[in-house]
Amino acid sequence: MVMNDRLQKVMAHAGIASRRACETLIETGHVRVNGSVVTTLGVKVNNSDRIEVDRVPIKRESPVYFVLNKPKGIITSVKDEKDRKTVLDYFKHKVPERIYPVGRLDYDTSGVLLLTNDGNLDYLLTHPKHEIKKTYIAKVDGIPDEKDLDRLRKGVKLEKNIKSAPADVKLLKKVGDNDQSGLIELTLHEGKNHEVKKMLNAIGHPVEKLKRINFAGIEVENLEPGQWRPLKKREVRDLFELVKNR
């Protein structure tokens, strides 16, 4: 499978330097692709291209793909300035490749999170224009009625001049003492920051607990919070099938 990615990203993933430092190496003539010096940013390379930095070939990582059942209270980041635990801590000393999360889950949101070193697939799965499906279970304050749910199905105003896209929504059940909370399943096709929370705030039923149960067809199945597994070959194939015509 041939996967094109930006030269500076491939170099960074190979551990040459930071993305910005790799861009400087390219612009100053230190990098060759298939024997020719490249000084233009944005050049795409694939797995068959030979990349050299100061005449030394870089070591390319094979693509790897994982799914983590992200616990609540964990940062979705490669590292955190406040030295809080991140999702990569679960993979430390167990996965040698330089992986990173595909998209984000809020600090207090749990559930399905993909991680990979495949920049091409990461781009395809996270770019808004590709409208990848994401399904959440939200425990909300109060019980939304059908009028509330219809507003979510049509899209609600989140901020000035910003409206959510239509969502697939259903009330699963009433929970809590005296049925004071509701469980809602929402499937979205976009991924604005804190979008689910903003949508439910907009209809007057703020989120008490939020979990993503499906991302691009991938689920956590029997994984406990903090557990992860490699994606199956079939799952990887299905992801590329999902995005190939987008």
Note the pLDDT tens digit of each residue in 47-57: 889 999 999 99
| Nearest residue to 207 (alpha-carbon basis) of 215, 216, 198 | 198
Q: What is the pLDDT of residue 205?
A: 96
User: pLDDT for 126-176, tens place per residue?
Assistant: 888 888 999 999 999 999 999 999 999 999 998 878 899 999 999 999 998
Q: Is 106 a catalytic residue?
A: yes
Compute the distance between CA of residue 25 and CA of residue 11 in angstroms, rounded to an integer: 10
Compute the distance between CA of residue 6 and CA of residue 10 in angstroms, rounded to an integer: 6
pTM above 0.85, yes or no: no
Q: What is the pLDDT of residue 86?
A: 96
Percent with pLDDT over 90 in the chain: 65
Note whether 29 and 39 are within 8 A (CB).
yes
- How many CB atoms neighbour CB 214 within 10 A? 17
Q: What is the pLDDT of residue 246?
A: 62
Q: Where does 117-191 show beta strands of DSSP type E?
A: 134-141, 157-159, 162-163, 168-175, 181-188
DSSP letter for each residue of 180-244: -EEEEEEEES---TTHHHHHHHHTT--EEEEEEEEETTB--TTPPTT-EEEPPHHHHHHHHHHHT
The whole-number average pLDDT for the span 200-222 is: 96
Work out the pLDDT band at 245, boundaries 50, 70, 90.
low
Is 89 a residue whose pLDDT tops 60? yes
Q: What is the pLDDT of residue 1?
A: 43
Identified catalytic residue from 106, 108, 118, 122: 106
- Secondary structure (3-state) at 84: coil
Task: For the chain, list the domains and their CATH numbers.
Answer: 5-57 (3.10.290.10), 65-129+217-243 (3.30.70.580), 133-215 (3.30.70.1560)
